[in-house]
Structure 1
Amino acid sequence: MISVPEKYQGLRSFAFGDGPKLADELLDLVIRGLKTATCSTDDEPNISAPGEQWIVLDGRGEPRCAIETIELTYRRFPEVDAAFAYDEGEGDRSLDYWRQAHRTYFGRQGKFREDMMLMCERFRLVEVFARAEPS
Structure 2
Amino acid sequence: MNPIEEYWSAFLATQPADSPYHQKIYVAEGFGDGAALADELGGLIAGGIKTGTCSSLWEWQAEGNPIPEVGLVTIVLDGKGQPICIIETTEVTVHNEVDADFARAEGEGDLSLAYWQKAHKTFFSRTLPKIGKEFSEHMPLVCERFKLIYK
Q: With structure 2 as the length reference, what TM-score do the two structures score?
A: 0.77
Secondary structure of the corresponding residue to residue 150 of structure 2: strand
Distance of 2:142 and 2:83 partners within structure 1: 23
Equivalent residue in structure 1 for 2:80, among 60, 83, 89:
60
Paired positions, count: 126
Q: Deviations over 1:38-87 (max 9, x none)?
A: 010113236211112111111001122110000000110xx210000000
Secondary structure of the corresponding residue to residue 34 of structure 1: coil
Q: Which has the larger radius of gyration?
A: 2
Secondary structure of the corresponding residue to residue 12 of structure 1: strand
Partner of 2:54: 39
Equivalent residue in structure 2 for 1:89, among 97, 104, 107:
107
Deviates more, 1:5-14 or 1:113-122: 5-14
Question: How well do the aligned residues superpose, as a CA RMSD in angstroms?
Answer: 1.7
* Aligned residue type for 1:35: K
Partner of 1:106: 124
Partner of 1:131: none
Higher relative contact order (Cα pairs below 8 Å, separated by 6+ residues): 1
Would you identify which runs of 4 or more consecutive aligned residues in structure 1 move more than 4 Å? none
Distance of 1:63 and 1:98 partners within structure 2: 26
Q: Find out whether 1:18 has 2:36 as its counterpart.
A: no
Equivalent residue in structure 1 for 2:42, among 6, 18, 27:
27
Secondary structure of the corresponding residue to residue 61 of structure 1: coil
Identity between Structure 1 and Structure 2 (%):
49
Distance of 1:65 and 1:96 partners within structure 2: 28
Distance of 1:123 and 1:66 partners within structure 2: 10
1 or 2, which has the higher helix percentage?
Answer: 2
* Aligned residue type for 2:99: D
Partner of 1:132: none
Distance of 1:5 and 1:114 partners within structure 2: 38
Q: With structure 1 as the length reference, what TM-score do the two structures score?
A: 0.86
Unpaired runs of 5+ residues, structure 2, are 13-20
Partner of 1:119: 142
